[in-house]
Chains A and B, each alone.
Chain A
Amino acid sequence: MTDRRMFIGRALAGASTLLLSGCYDLSEKPWFTDILGKVEDLTRAAQHLFAGHHTLAQEFTKADIAPVFRANGTTDPGTSEYQAHVDNGFRNWRVAVTGLVEQTLSLSMSDLHKLPARTQITRHDCVEGWSCIGEWTGPQLALILAAARPKSAARYAVFHCADPMTVEGDPDHYYYESLDLTEATHPQTILAYQMNGAPLTVPHGAPVRLRAERQLGYKQPKYVQRIELVDDLKSIQGGNGGYWEDQGYSWYGGI
């Protein structure tokens, strides 16, 4: 009986190994990952069909705000430049709007504060599976982009951030992300400078982070310094539209 049980156990483990190594090999075959990429396009098209341009993410009440909001990814950029910004209260911090725009912009924090702000209590969904509810305040990105007057060729907004993902000073490895213009101009897409009524803390992306409430957390970069409008993502860093996308994550982050 024990022998038989051992045999069955080994047979199952063997079958699992065969299946797993087969799937692992498939995961590295270009033809197969191409199919998975097509599925991502299908998911995105289907979700756009259902969600449209302006359906809003659910907004919660103050009572729902999480007592502990987990800070994931970079919790301190740690560069000397960033530390200098922290030390003088981000007075010299600029958010630039560049690329395919008629009017490039360079906005200080006080410029951002002068714009009409939107406050929203929303659920932050991490790709890992957890969620936290928090209150965010800041101007709608649509407002800022409208001021820069995007050229008709512009298709994506790329967010360049201050947190280096590898060695300090390596210009190619700062965190970056991108959204299509539908998501970038969504009413709940804001440049948040406040969280739960207080200025953003360093772990949460001080002085300003993106909130795109219909997207997963990695699509909402912290420490935003420059917003570049482009017609194609291929020429930026790894060419996949974001730091995590260059590590194999899907560009479409609505699921």
Chain B
Amino acid sequence: MSTHAAKTQPTDTLRTALGLAPSGPHYAFRRHSLWVRVCHWVNALCLVILLMSGLNIFNAHPALYWGSGSDFNRPALMLGAMQNNAGQITAGVTSIGRHQIDTTGLLGASKVDGQLSPRGFPSWATLPGPNWLAMARQWHFAFAWLLVFNAFVFFVYGLWSGHFVRDLTPGKSDIVHLPREIADHARLKFPHDARARRYNALQKLAYCFVLFVLGPLIVLTGISMSPTMDAAFPILPWLFGGRQSARTIHFICAFSFFGFLLVHIAMVILSGSWNNLRSMITGKYVIHGRESDHD
């Protein structure tokens, strides 16, 4: 009863939100192994650099197509710029199929040294900042190697240690609890007691999708853009409907990763910032309640 009273204190609600230990009973356990923590941060670094250098590469030809070749008259997506008779850039236009959206300042045309210039993505989103295809490619390929190496280490660890089967594979109870969890997530209600010792069903599904669908897909579509690799493995471009389709899917995967990243960070903050962040740095995660209560 006293535990329950302590939990409803306003200061405790704040402490929980910030991920600090509650005033009531609590205990710590090691939530993430060293392997998971190291792989997580190497992966995070790779994803940020790959996304930003990828946007710089995209800026060299800011349009996407379906098929093997580029039908320049029918791009699936194009970030273009409009100019007036004097040659000044006046607007940035995003075309998706036949629809056109004014995206001046963000997509198609954005400021470079105070001057509106034709640019797919703006300079604050690309790595390096200026359009520099040669250097962006080198960054992209270097961190693609690191990403793949890191993923290899993580997959070997995940299979060998049982991490994938034990922590990530959704079970029957996950499916049963799914509607309830969706409702709880929508109301930003997250468990802080012993239930937080395991990933919930939504986490398992999200992590499995990113690890086993999005990850392999972005690597394979990336490789499909290499003419030498296409000669070595002709099945690759065929699988994705041609090199330009592979490039388009690569782009969609990149923004799916970006979407995942935003939701992931939002969830980390909303469900107890410091407790979550610390658990991915030192491994230590605080659970509300008494450890013996759950045995």
Cα(A17)–Cα(B141), bound, Å: 22
* A and B contact pairs by CB, cutoff 8 A, 11 listed: A20-B127, A21-B129, A23-B127, A39-B138, A68-B72, A70-B70, A127-B133, A129-B61, A131-B70, A213-B227, A215-B228
Q: Select one of B48, B71, B126, B138 contacting A40, CB under 8 A.
A: B138
Tell me which of A21, A42, A47 has the highest count of chain B C-beta atoms within 10 A of its own C-beta.
A47
B288 beta carbon closer than 8 Å to chain A: no
Looking at B25-33, B198-206, B232-240, the stretch in contact with chain A turns out to be B232-240
Pick the contact of B61 from A130, A214, A244 — CB < 8 Å? A130
Complex Cα–Cα for A24 and B124 (A): 12
Within 8 Å by CB of B138, from A17, A130, A250, lies: A250
List chain B residues, Cβ under 8 A from A132: 69-70
Interface residues of B in 228-271 (CB under 8 A from A): 228-234, 237, 243-244, 247
A58 to B125, CA, bound (A): 35
Cβ of B124 and Cβ of A17 under 8 Å apart? yes
Instruction: Report the minimal beta-carbon distance from B50 to chain A, rounded to whole angstroms.
Output: 12
**A142 part of interface (Cβ distance < 8 Å):** no
Task: Knowing A36-B142, A128-B133 are in contact, say whether A51-B231 is a contact too (CB < 8 A).
Answer: yes
Q: Which of A6-29 contact B (CB under 8 A)?
A: 13, 16-17, 19-21, 23-24, 27
The answer to whether A56 touches B124 (Cβ under 8 A) is no
Residues of A close to B130: CB separation below 8 A: 24
Determine how close the nearest CB of chain A comes to the CB of B102; give it in whole angstroms: 21
Chain A residues with a Cβ under 8 A of chain B: 13, 16-17, 19-21, 23-24, 27, 33, 35-36, 39-40, 42-43, 47, 50-52, 55-58, 60, 64, 66, 68, 70, 123, 125-133, 213-216, 244, 247-250, 254-255
Residues in A with CB closer than 8 Å to B41 are: none
Q: How far is the CB of B78 from chain A (nearest CB, A)?
A: 12
A20:B134 contact, CB within 8 angstroms = no
Q: How far is the CA of A125 from the CA of B57 in the complex (A)?
A: 14
User: Closest approach, in angstroms, between the C-beta of A49 and any C-beta of chain B?
Assistant: 9
Counting contact residues on chain B (CB < 8 A from A), the size range is 35 or more
Chain B residue numbers with a CB within 8 Å of A36 are: 138-139, 142
Contacting residues, chain A, for B135 (C-beta < 8 A): 27, 248
Taking the closest CB of chain A, its distance from the CB of B123, in whole angstroms, is: 8
Question: Which residue on chain A has the smallest CB distance to residue B123?
Answer: A20
Q: In the bound complex, do residue A70 and residue B72 qualify as a contact, i.e. CB atoms below 8 Å apart?
A: yes
B124 to chain A, nearest CB (A): 5
Among B60, B70, B72, B247, the residue within 8 A (CB) of A127 is B60
Complex formed: what's the CA distance from A42 to B148 in Å? 13
Judge if B68 is at the interface, Cβ distance under 8 Å.
Answer: yes
Q: Is the CB of B124 within 8 A of A16?
A: yes
Residues of A within 8 A of B124 (CB): 13, 16-17, 20
From the candidates B145, B232, B244, name the one contacting A131 in the complex (CB within 8 A): B244
CB < 8 Å: which of A24, A40, A55 contacts B129? A24
Considering only residues 153-174 of chain B, those with a C-beta below 8 Å from chain A are none
The 8 Å CB contact of A47, one of B129, B134, B228, is: B228
Is A47's CB under 8 angstroms from B70's CB? no
B70 touches A213 (CB 8 A): no
In whole angstroms, what is the CA distance A129 to B137 when docked? 11
A140-B272 Cα distance, complex, nearest whole Å: 65
Contacts of A13 in B (CB 8 A): 124
